[in-house]
Chains A and B, each alone.
Chain A
């Protein structure tokens, strides 16, 4: 077990900055996830930790040891690749035993360890099969076993579930979490699936364009996003532009079109003044159709579109030229053209300054 520290790690591929001065520490035994859209640099960061890429600048430490220039085979990390990378010319047993043979462990002990890890991933009995004779889920487990059997200092998982079907993915992510808890191994996980990241992680680093946008526990990220990117990446949302009219304590009053809405600033680091341009982030599931409590914004409009999703229906409500997404109970009786009023509490109305950085994300977050 080891803690992993990145210090201003930077990696460029030509013009593209895949990792931009990344600095963070992953603690002993932690389940840590890099989350972000494709191309954000999360896999590159993981590969830098594995030693499969080397940073252009910056340092990487395992505990207090500088491993920046160590080749991958000296780092003792166990990596599970997105495509599993099982060797087709070796049996399941030989695949798993490979790392142990490299470490010149006696034959008997190799056999014992391989069978033990096969028990752990529930694959006992398949050791003489070849990878092509296994299902996707079983291949995934072999890849995990192969990484675990060497008792690595850090377990690295690169989108390990992305090639599995939806049901198996849910099963496997619980499995991975169970094994990680049991072994207490420092684990670094990469995914673009925010739900997967939320369920499985102790902490998440949200990345965009090579930069860390925020590092936090899942619930904090969701409730207290530090910037517009994080807020909009985690779940669907509506973003409205407005102007700050008044600020008292944490509560901000804004004019949005000809509406007046009140909301909160999620982080103390964010400074807003009266007259500033700002954006409001509204999550569709935070709306209610009846006014059941105090301190809520009221938005009125005409239903323009209805999507029946299953557990809920998503309405697109047009209000003073603005389009707002509102989730309602699927049994709620409504049709296109109906007038409707929706309520959202002040503390679910999240306000960010409309800084230049935010402007840059606009096209990515579908304002």
Chain B
């Protein structure tokens, strides 16, 4: 690429697009994370590893004598304090899972939980995807819808529901002991096993959807050829089908690993149900808790940055490994062109029975948190004990009557709305440059626009607090003081949330637009230029109308996932609660530290979020006229 060529590529439109994309990505993604790295690696004396050293030698972080006791069987009476503060006698016999172990320290716990969730979610997701991709059976379309229910984000409340149902006085124990009379032990699941359970149930659909789209895209003739050569049954699956579906499976599994590691919903939600416990002994919660307590940047200990960098490092390694691996394995699509109907067959009687048992159990278990949220929001379940006793609209009504709640909703709508505008501008610009321009370094732009999906939100939040606090401090006392005030995270976290949503939810739109551009032949644009239209004119009269559907559907997904964003919302939101969004308020309510009401209000907000997501997914699918895996690398 010579200079003359570069100048030709950089017409007015491209320059504007490049500036927009680079400004947003550098100022609101690269620089904050870089400042976090600086904080973690630089002390007054210069480059240092001492924060890492002190973190890794802290027995709380990496435990020298990990507790491996997973199950305790308690055979005696014991006083326990319930979350509402009353002292009760725990009944005679208890199977206590996760109460005192496993516990390896915050860092290893996080890795242990993420790996476990990834493996469990992969197994469940793969089986479900294989059934849905390869078998035809009555009711399949109903399962298709039911299987993605767990993706409807109801942060904190879903974990709370699981805690409530599985808890000592919960529905499950009631059924086991009093209805079925199978056992007189009370089963209690807390700590890391509970986190693993909650996260597996909410994240397996990510593996399921990515694997499903891989399986559906396998050219049937590849499997037919293998059968023609004598392979069948498990051998066919192991030697041909699975390797071809691996890119989707691997992508889904990696996302689950990263989402699990940065998740705050499970630890906070379980704390709401059980109080403090080992379920909060996770890196994500530790960082969150540190920032919740401090009043200024100076109070944050540098080892927290070291911990954040550790999390970023683990996530990046996972992401890069999978990127390399998936690109190596991208041979599934060698035979391009031609739409095929995927291989589908009818199972035999036994097979059909097995499929129904698996799917029905899976659907019931994985969607009960969401159903529980609806029940919490519409009944008195939060205070009535084991089962609800009456239906009430009072909690849903509080969405419009309680001022804290309406303020949070207004905040979320504002932030997500502004974010979507920024996302559309940035995502369309970045995707168009990547798809159509020959500019050196555009691969980097591509990576920057995709990678936020793999960067833990906690890292973004911490990076923002570091960088924008320093920026504000620098600007105070200068003519730009008001600008510093606008961006000071301890004063105005709202504005920063708009940008954190913009960056974190950018990949949905960037990827949708890029996919649209790939399906649009470049000669359509060349024809316009040939007829005398400048590049800008071509972009607005030809490109935009052709990819409008992709932009809109990407924007819708970006919008709802901004509304349900957790990590930056709770960390930045806690800096100034009056500017907190919905998910911040939910976390406060669940963690029992909000001024307003009960868990039911958080559930009502959860119902609001679910409704928005259902509408968004339906509209987006209708616009694109196809089912898209809306979460994928």
Which parts of B531-548 form the interface with A (CB within 8 Å)?
531-535, 537, 541-542, 545-546
Contacts of A78 in B (CB 8 A): 530-531
Question: Which chain B residue lies CB-closest to A149?
Answer: B531
**A17 to B261 Cα, complex, angstroms:** 50
**A98 to B5 Cα, complex, angstroms:** 28
Contacts of A98 in B (CB 8 A): 528, 531, 533, 541
Question: Which chain A residue lies CB-closest to B544?
Answer: A89
Other-chain contact of A85, B8, B526, B533 (Cβ < 8 Å): B526
Residue B529, interface by CB 8 Å: yes
**A50 to B521 Cα, complex, angstroms:** 18
Other-chain contact of A146, B526, B529, B531 (Cβ < 8 Å): B531
Residue A81, interface by CB 8 Å: yes
Other-chain contact of A81, B5, B526, B534 (Cβ < 8 Å): B526
Contacts of B8 in A (CB 8 A): 54, 69, 71
| Interchain Cβ contacts within 8 Å, total number | 74
Query: Shortest CB–CB separation between residue A47 and chain B, in angstroms?
Result: 8
User: Do A102 and B533 have beta carbons less than 8 Å apart?
Assistant: yes
Contacts of A54 in B (CB 8 A): 4-5, 8
Other-chain contact of B531, A51, A52, A88, A99 (Cβ < 8 Å): A99
**A85 to B543 Cα, complex, angstroms:** 13
User: Do B4 and A102 have beta carbons less than 8 Å apart?
Assistant: no
Which parts of B541-563 form the interface with A (CB within 8 Å)?
541-542, 545-546
**A67 to B11 Cα, complex, angstroms:** 17
Interface residues on A, range: 20 to 34
Residue B524, interface by CB 8 Å: yes
Other-chain contact of A73, B5, B523, B532 (Cβ < 8 Å): B532
Question: Which chain A residue lies CB-closest to B532?
Answer: A102
Which parts of A74-106 form the interface with B (CB within 8 Å)?
74, 76-79, 81-83, 85-89, 98-99, 102-103
Main DSSP-derived SS at the A contact region: loop
Given contacts A54-B8, A89-B546, contact A103 B526 (CB under 8 A): no
Given contacts A83-B523, A88-B546, A89-B546, contact A50 B537 (CB under 8 A): no
Other-chain contact of B4, A69, A71, A86 (Cβ < 8 Å): A69
Question: Which chain B residue lies CB-closest to A95?
Answer: B527
**A89 to B548 Cα, complex, angstroms:** 11
Query: Shortest CB–CB separation between residue B543 and chain A, in angstroms?
Result: 10
Question: Which chain B residue lies CB-closest to A72?
Answer: B529
User: Do B521 and A150 have beta carbons less than 8 Å apart?
Assistant: no
Contacts of A103 in B (CB 8 A): 532
Other-chain contact of A150, B526, B532, B545 (Cβ < 8 Å): B532
**A102 to B529 Cα, complex, angstroms:** 10
Contacts of A72 in B (CB 8 A): 526, 529-530
Contacts of A56 in B (CB 8 A): 2
Query: Shortest CB–CB separation between residue A294 and chain B, in angstroms?
Result: 56
**A89 to B535 Cα, complex, angstroms:** 18
Contacts of B545 in A (CB 8 A): 89
**A69 to B7 Cα, complex, angstroms:** 11
- Highest count of chain A CB atoms <10 Å: which of B531, B532, B541: B531
**A99 to B8 Cα, complex, angstroms:** 22
Contacts of B530 in A (CB 8 A): 50-52, 72-73, 77-79, 147, 156
**A189 to B527 Cα, complex, angstroms:** 16
Contacts of B533 in A (CB 8 A): 73, 98, 102
Query: Shortest CB–CB separation between residue A301 and chain B, in angstroms?
Result: 43
User: Do A99 and B526 have beta carbons less than 8 Å apart?
Assistant: no
User: Do B532 and A99 have beta carbons less than 8 Å apart?
Assistant: yes
Query: Shortest CB–CB separation between residue B439 and chain A, in angstroms?
Result: 14
Question: Which chain B residue lies CB-closest to A80?
Answer: B527
Query: Shortest CB–CB separation between residue A18 and chain B, in angstroms?
Result: 15
Other-chain contact of B523, A71, A74, A77, A81 (Cβ < 8 Å): A81
Contacts of B523 in A (CB 8 A): 81-83, 85
Which parts of B95-131 form the interface with A (CB within 8 Å)?
none
Which parts of B260-308 form the interface with A (CB within 8 Å)?
none
**A82 to B526 Cα, complex, angstroms:** 12
Given contacts A54-B8, A85-B521, contact A73 B534 (CB under 8 A): yes
Query: Shortest CB–CB separation between residue B11 and chain A, in angstroms?
Result: 8
Question: Which chain A residue lies CB-closest to B533?
Answer: A102
**A156 to B526 Cα, complex, angstroms:** 13
Contacts of A87 in B (CB 8 A): 524, 527-528, 542, 546
**A367 to B8 Cα, complex, angstroms:** 45
Contacts of B2 in A (CB 8 A): 56
Contacts of A146 in B (CB 8 A): 527, 531
**A76 to B530 Cα, complex, angstroms:** 7
User: Do A79 and B527 have beta carbons less than 8 Å apart?
Assistant: yes
**A87 to B545 Cα, complex, angstroms:** 10
Contacts of A156 in B (CB 8 A): 530
Digit string of B574-610 for contact with A (CB within 8 Å is 1, else 0)? Answer: 0000000000000000000000000000000000000
Question: Which chain B residue lies CB-closest to A68?
Answer: B4
**A210 to B337 Cα, complex, angstroms:** 29
Question: Which chain A residue lies CB-closest to B520?
Answer: A88
Query: Shortest CB–CB separation between residue B184 and chain A, in angstroms?
Result: 70
Contacts of B529 in A (CB 8 A): 51-52, 71-73
Contacts of A74 in B (CB 8 A): 532
Which parts of B488-539 form the interface with A (CB within 8 Å)?
521, 523-524, 526-535, 537
Contacts of B526 in A (CB 8 A): 50, 52, 72, 79, 81, 85
Query: Shortest CB–CB separation between residue B575 and chain A, in angstroms?
Result: 47
Question: Which chain A residue lies CB-closest to B529?
Answer: A72
**A74 to B533 Cα, complex, angstroms:** 9
Question: Which chain A residue lies CB-closest to B521?
Answer: A83
Digit string of A136-151 for contact with B (CB within 8 Å is 1, else 0)? Answer: 0000000000110010
**A85 to B528 Cα, complex, angstroms:** 9
**A203 to B57 Cα, complex, angstroms:** 82
**A89 to B545 Cα, complex, angstroms:** 7
Digit string of A345-363 for contact with B (CB within 8 Å is 1, else 0)? Answer: 0000000000000000000
Digit string of B235-251 for contact with A (CB within 8 Å is 1, else 0)? Answer: 00000000000000000
Contacts of B4 in A (CB 8 A): 54, 69
Query: Shortest CB–CB separation between residue B354 and chain A, in angstroms?
Result: 45
Question: Which chain B residue lies CB-closest to A98?
Answer: B531
Question: Which chain B residue lies CB-closest to A158?
Answer: B523
Contacts of B5 in A (CB 8 A): 54
**A103 to B11 Cα, complex, angstroms:** 20
**A332 to B322 Cα, complex, angstroms:** 67
User: Do B531 and A150 have beta carbons less than 8 Å apart?
Assistant: yes
**A74 to B11 Cα, complex, angstroms:** 14
**A150 to B532 Cα, complex, angstroms:** 9
Which parts of A92-130 form the interface with B (CB within 8 Å)?
98-99, 102-103
Question: Which chain B residue lies CB-closest to A88?
Answer: B546
**A98 to B537 Cα, complex, angstroms:** 11
**A83 to B534 Cα, complex, angstroms:** 22
**A88 to B523 Cα, complex, angstroms:** 12
- Highest count of chain A CB atoms <10 Å: which of B527, B530, B541: B530
Question: Which chain B residue lies CB-closest to A70?
Answer: B8
Contacts of B524 in A (CB 8 A): 85, 87
Given contacts A54-B8, A71-B8, A72-B526, contact A102 B542 (CB under 8 A): no
Query: Shortest CB–CB separation between residue A2 and chain B, in angstroms?
Result: 15
Digit string of A33-65 for contact with B (CB within 8 Å is 1, else 0)? Answer: 000000000000000001110101000000000
**A85 to B533 Cα, complex, angstroms:** 15
Query: Shortest CB–CB separation between residue A316 and chain B, in angstroms?
Result: 35
Q: List 19 A-B contacts (CB under 8 A).
A: A50-B530, A51-B529, A52-B529, A52-B530, A56-B2, A71-B534, A72-B526, A73-B529, A81-B527, A83-B523, A86-B527, A87-B524, A87-B527, A98-B541, A102-B532, A103-B532, A146-B527, A147-B530, A150-B531
8 smallest A-B Cβ distances: which pairs? A99-B531, A85-B523, A85-B527, A72-B529, A102-B532, A79-B530, A81-B523, A89-B545
Beyond A79-B527, A98-B533, 18 additional pairs, beta carbon < 8 A: A51-B529, A52-B530, A56-B2, A72-B530, A73-B530, A73-B532, A73-B533, A73-B534, A74-B532, A77-B530, A81-B527, A83-B521, A85-B523, A87-B528, A102-B533, A146-B527, A150-B532, A156-B530
